[in-house]
Structure 1
Amino acid sequence: MKQTFTMLQKIKQLFSILWPILVAQVTIFSMNFFDTLMSGHASTDDLAGVAIGSSIWVPVGAGLGGIFVAVTPIVAHLIGGNRKKEIAFKVIQGIYLALFVSLLVIGGGIIALDSILSLMGLEDNVLRISRSYLVALASGIPALFIYQVLRAFIDALGKTRITMVIALVSLPINIALNYIFIFGQFGLPPLGGVGAGIASTITYYCMVIMALTIILRNHSFSSYQLFNKFYRLSLKEWKEQLKIGLPIGFAIFVETSIFAVVALLMSSFNTVTIAAHQVAMNFSSMLYMVPLSISSALTILVGFEVGANRQRDARQYSYLGMGMSIGLACICAAVLLLFSEKVAALYSKEAEVIEMAQHFLIYALFFQLSDAIGAPIQGTLRGYKDVNATFYIACISYWGIGLPAGYYMAQNTPLEASGYWIGLILGLAVSAICLSGRLMVVQRRQKAL
């Protein structure tokens, strides 16, 4: 990254950081997409089982994984302030923290998983698939969290093409492993949705091995000497990283868990409804990768400019990112409107699932505008290291407004399952409005300094 002086230079630098992140995000998300898609072609029970398992894992994994996003603004500030010698210590402590958190997650799963699943009233076969899928996934958690730390370090240096390449290589590995384990190849028995969990775990370890190899051998990263010295575990540094990372992680958890809770509430409906909801949510989540990628790019660039005390440049990047996000959201919404039937047919051959999924996909159109505003603002605020307000806004918007409204409509109106979708739309809209107000306050405060 480098200092820019004109708007054209900023657009070029934003795009150069953004497009590899977007490719990487879409590619990594595609792993979940193919887990769901290929499980659905095994059977509707496998699709529903993976849907329930993902609904439990995604908010936990995304929320706790969000803690390690803190490494990105920390490293970006150090680079902007020309304090590069401190980076190795920060990253290694992040790896230690990732290992500790992964052990906590696995331990918590051993204690609580069976109780959670038993409360959901699932059909026996769907429950079995969900449990086995999560157990298979658990052994890959340490690799996933360590990779997230390494990715945060790589991206903070502006070398986003590296993580893009890792993602692009990992996707065909994951698809091939899905094919082997889900459908049973090379003498292995067909495992259905459970095989998707095994494939994901192996893929996570491949990703962390690739990242470590590049960091050790590429001069752009090896010059930071991450592994040239042994660093003792520092609880003080953990505290500093958690001060930034926990609000980020909790905000991500609150946002993703609302979608997971809705998916779990959908379990009171039949298997077709569960499957159709998963289809629509899975595809709309893929479209979310666009504003999410812009958010990640803004964290890097705004953090870099704030670290160098160039407040005007930081504001200009935030405006550019938001404008780009809204424009792309309009394009994505148009694509979804025109091709909803074809999208639904990708996931299932059953006419009932396709018809209901199309209905849910129409609601996903309204997700796009709120996400296009809210996600880039979250990334900008992280660049400023302003993370607490985002967490509070998420709690109020999703749990205080969106979920209660959706539950009421689903239980007390003819909308039934569609009521949950309307509640989610309401929560996202409130969040986008509140985040806009918070950004104005933060930028006005920075301008006054």
Structure 2
Amino acid sequence: MRETKDLREKAKQFITILIPILITQAGLSLITFLDTVMSGKVSAADLAGVAIGSSLWTPVYTGLAGILTAVTPTVAQLMGAKQQKEVPYTVIQAVYVAIIISLIVMISGFFLVDPILEGLQLDEKVSLIAKHFLSYLGLGILPLFVYNVMRSFIDSLGKTRVTMLITLCALPINFVLNALFIFGKLGFPKMGGAGAGLASALTYWCICLISLLIVHKKPPFYQFKIFGTFYSFSLSECLKLLKIGLPIGFAIFFETSIFAAVTLLMSHFDTVTIASHQAAMNFASLLYMLPLSVSMALTIVVGFEAGAKRFQDSKAYSYLGISMAVGFSLFTALVILLFRQQIAGMYTGDPAVLSLTKHFLLYALFFQLSDAIAAPIQGALRGYKDVNYTLVTALISYWIIGLPVGFIIGTYTSFGAYGYWLGLIAGLAAGAVGLFLRLRIIQNRLIMKLSA
């Protein structure tokens, strides 16, 4: 990355960083998308089983992986302040954190998966598919978290095209493995939805090994000699990372877990409703990659400029990113409106599931504008290392506003399952307003402090 002089240069550099992130995020989401769609071609039970399994796993993964994204603003600010020699130590300590988190998740999952699934009172076949899906997926937890550290390091240098290429390699790998293990191609056992978990785990191992090789061998990463010196575990350094990472992780967890909570609360509906809800939610999550990618790009550029104390430049980047995200959201809303039939048809051939999915997709229209404002602001605030307010905002807007509103409408009105989506929309809107106010305060405070 480099210092920019005007808005045109900023837009060019921002887009250069953003596009590979967008492709990377879309690619990672497509792994879950492929799991869901290909499982749905086996049966509605397989689709529902993978849906429940994904709903349990996604908030856990995104929240814990969010902790590791502390590497991005930390390294970006080190680079902006020209303190490159501190980078390898920070990255290795993050790897230690990733290993510890992985072990905690695997041990916890061993004891908790069965009681959680039993408590949901699912159809027996759906519950069994969800259990096997999660069990196989667990084999890929360690490499997935280590990959997240490598990815955060690579992206923090502005080399987002590299992680894009890694992800593009992962997609065909995942597709082939899904075909082998879900459908039993080439003599492999036909595992249905459970096979999607194994395919994803093996894919995670592949992308982890590729990223480690690139960081060790390829410029400009090898110049940092990340693995050239043995750094012992440092509790104090890990705590510094966690001080930034934990609020990020919990904020992401509160945001993603509300979607999982809604799916789980809807488990008393029939299999067709669960499958339709998950299909529509899966597509909405895929579209969320647009504002999320803007958010991640903003963390890099805002962090770089904040590290160099160029706060007017970091402010300009923030509003540039928000404007782009709003433009994206208007486009994606139009896509949903015009192509609901085709979108629903990608997930299922079952007429009942297809019809209900089309209705759920209409509610996804209203997600777009709130996400387009909230997600980029979260990224900008992380670039400033201002993470605690985002955590509080996520807790209040999603769990104190969104979920109760959804439960009340979904339980006590004729909206039924659609009521939960209305609650989600209310929570997203509240979060967007709160985050925007915080961004204005932080920007004005930093600019005033510098000029004082």
Q: What's the TM-score once normalised by structure 2's chain length?
A: 0.99
- AA of the residue aligned to 1:426: A
Give the aligned partner of residue 159 of structure 1. Answer: 159
Matches within 5 A, 1:194-273: 194-273=194-273
Give the aligned partner of residue 21 of structure 1. Answer: 21
| Structure 1 residue 58, shift from structure 2 partner | 0.2
Give the aligned partner of residue 118 of structure 2. Answer: 118
Deviations 1:40-98 (A, max 9, x none): 00110000000000000000000001000100000000000000000000000000100
| Structure 1 residue 101, shift from structure 2 partner | 0.4
Between the aligned partners of 2:286 and 2:188, the Cα distance in structure 1 is 31
Give the aligned partner of residue 407 of structure 1. Answer: 407
- AA of the residue aligned to 1:376: P
Between the aligned partners of 1:262 and 1:174, the Cα distance in structure 2 is 28
Give the aligned partner of residue 144 of structure 1. Answer: 144
Give the aligned partner of residue 396 of structure 1. Answer: 396
Between the aligned partners of 1:25 and 1:425, the Cα distance in structure 2 is 23
Between the aligned partners of 1:250 and 1:380, the Cα distance in structure 2 is 17
Any unmatched runs of 5+ in structure 1?
Answer: none
- AA of the residue aligned to 2:313: D
Give the aligned partner of residue 179 of structure 1. Answer: 179
| Structure 1 residue 416, shift from structure 2 partner | 0.5
Matches within 5 A, 1:330-349: 330-349=330-349
| Structure 1 residue 266, shift from structure 2 partner | 1.3
| Structure 1 residue 6, shift from structure 2 partner | 1.1
Give the aligned partner of residue 275 of structure 2. Answer: 275
The residue matched to 1:223 in structure 2 has which SS?
Answer: helix
Between the aligned partners of 2:65 and 2:408, the Cα distance in structure 1 is 32
Between the aligned partners of 2:391 and 2:398, the Cα distance in structure 1 is 11
| Structure 1 residue 219, shift from structure 2 partner | 2.2
| Structure 1 residue 113, shift from structure 2 partner | 1.0
Q: Aligned pair count?
A: 449
Deviations 1:140-184 (A, max 9, x none): 000000000000000000000000000001001000000000000
- AA of the residue aligned to 2:285: S
Give the aligned partner of residue 38 of structure 1. Answer: 38
Structural RMSD (CA)? 0.5
- AA of the residue aligned to 2:134: L
Between the aligned partners of 1:154 and 1:133, the Cα distance in structure 2 is 30
- AA of the residue aligned to 1:101: I
Between the aligned partners of 2:223 and 2:402, the Cα distance in structure 1 is 48
Between the aligned partners of 1:422 and 1:371, the Cα distance in structure 2 is 15
Aligned sequence identity (%):
53
Give the aligned partner of residue 369 of structure 1. Answer: 369
- AA of the residue aligned to 1:406: G
- AA of the residue aligned to 1:76: A
Give the aligned partner of residue 61 of structure 2. Answer: 61
- AA of the residue aligned to 1:262: V
- Deviation >2 Å, runs of 4+: none
Give the aligned partner of residue 135 of structure 1. Answer: 135
Q: What's the TM-score once normalised by structure 1's chain length?
A: 1.00
Any unmatched runs of 5+ in structure 2?
Answer: none
Give the aligned partner of residue 81 of structure 1. Answer: 81
The residue matched to 2:224 in structure 1 has which SS?
Answer: coil
Between the aligned partners of 1:345 and 1:20, the Cα distance in structure 2 is 28
Between the aligned partners of 1:445 and 1:115, the Cα distance in structure 2 is 48
The residue matched to 1:2 in structure 2 has which SS?
Answer: coil
The residue matched to 2:442 in structure 1 has which SS?
Answer: helix
The residue matched to 1:139 in structure 2 has which SS?
Answer: helix
Give the aligned partner of residue 190 of structure 2. Answer: 190
The residue matched to 1:174 in structure 2 has which SS?
Answer: helix
